[in-house]
Amino acid sequence: MLIKNQQNLKLENMSIDKSTKAARGTVQCENTNINLLKANDFVADIIKKEMAKTKTLLINITSSAGSGKTTLMQETARRLKDKLKMAVMVGDLETERDAERIRETGIQALQIVTGGICHLEAQMIHQVLPEYQLEDIDLLFIENVGNLVCPASFDLGEDFRVTLMATTEGDDKPKKYPRMFLTSDMMLVSKSDLLPYVPFSVEAVTKDAHEVNHELEVIQISSTNGEGMDAWCDWLVEKVNAKKEA
């Protein structure tokens, strides 16, 4: 019985030409798409509408634990905080550490402590939104809890989902955790400064990721030596401007 259920919920039949947005929160179950996350998606829609009102760009940053999300937030803040009004909300199972690190750069950052839950849900984001002056914020990041599994299924009302794929993790992850890459708009191959020391092929990871999601954009970055940071910041500025003009 258990084996049958596992087969029913296999994700490998998921159509790769389905839009990333449509794939969020749905699980292919035999011939029926069952939206298991209707309540989450309802709140995600409310968040989207609030962001549309203030023209704030919302970006959901996901990755395995330790791939460099907080360091990227710090480095992005250092480079863009004089050009854009930025803020961050960050989810972790315990501690305020990441929010404290980000606040050191001079931007607003609030910690959402999930107390054991392995992902952020739209309701959690909605609850902390009143702490932010959205009309004064151009770019709001959500740093999600570090893992490639649960955060993939929860739409947080974001405009874009960006997944870090660190060179220290091994280049086989897109095929092993396909939902995360299917539902993302951008893959940042992070810690590129370590490429000379680790067995990791950027070509192989990009090929696998594109087989999962042919629309995925890819930038190779290092928060340590700055590689790709200009391209990343240019991408953000372009998306912020597009949202303002929309």
Q: How many residues sit close enough to ligand GTP to count as binding (CB under 6 A)? A: 17
- Rounded to whole angstroms, the Cα distance separating 194 from 69 reads 16
3-state SS track over 98-157 = HHHHHHCCCCEEEEEECCCCCCCCHHHHHHHHHHCCHHHCCEEEEECCCCCCHHHHCCCC
Candidate list 60, 63, 163, 220; residue touching ligand GTP; CB under 6 A: 63
Answer with the entry of Mg ion, ligand GTP, none that 123 interacts with (C-beta below 5 to 8 A by kind).
Answer: none
Candidate list 23, 121, 139, 146; residue touching ligand GTP; CB under 6 A: 146
CA atoms within 13 A on the CB side of 191: 23
Query: Closer to ligand GTP at the Cβ: 194 or 218?
Result: 194
Q: Residue 115 CB, nearest distance to ligand GTP (Å)?
A: 16
Q: Residue 141 CB, nearest distance to ligand GTP (Å)?
A: 12
Question: Quick check: 185 and 160 in contact, CB under 8 A?
Answer: yes
Query: Closer to Mg ion at the Cβ: 69 or 243?
Result: 69
Does the footprint of Mg ion cover residue 98 (CB under 5 A)? Answer: yes
Give the 3-state secondary structure of residue 86. strand
**What is the rounded radius of gyration, in angstroms, for the C-alpha atoms of the chain?**
18
Question: Quick check: 151 and 120 in contact, CB under 8 A?
Answer: yes
Candidate list 26, 37, 69, 220; residue touching Mg ion; CB under 5 A: 69
Question: Quick check: 62 and 91 in contact, CB under 8 A?
Answer: no
Does the footprint of Mg ion cover residue 70 (CB under 5 A)? Answer: yes
List binders of ligand GTP among 66-105 (CB under 6 A): 66-71, 98
Candidate list 62, 190, 213, 220; residue touching ligand GTP; CB under 6 A: 190
Does the footprint of ligand GTP cover residue 11 (CB under 6 A)? Answer: no
Question: Quick check: 165 and 63 in contact, CB under 8 A?
Answer: yes
* Residues in touch with ligand GTP (CB under 6 A): 63, 65-71, 98, 146, 190-191, 193-194, 222-224
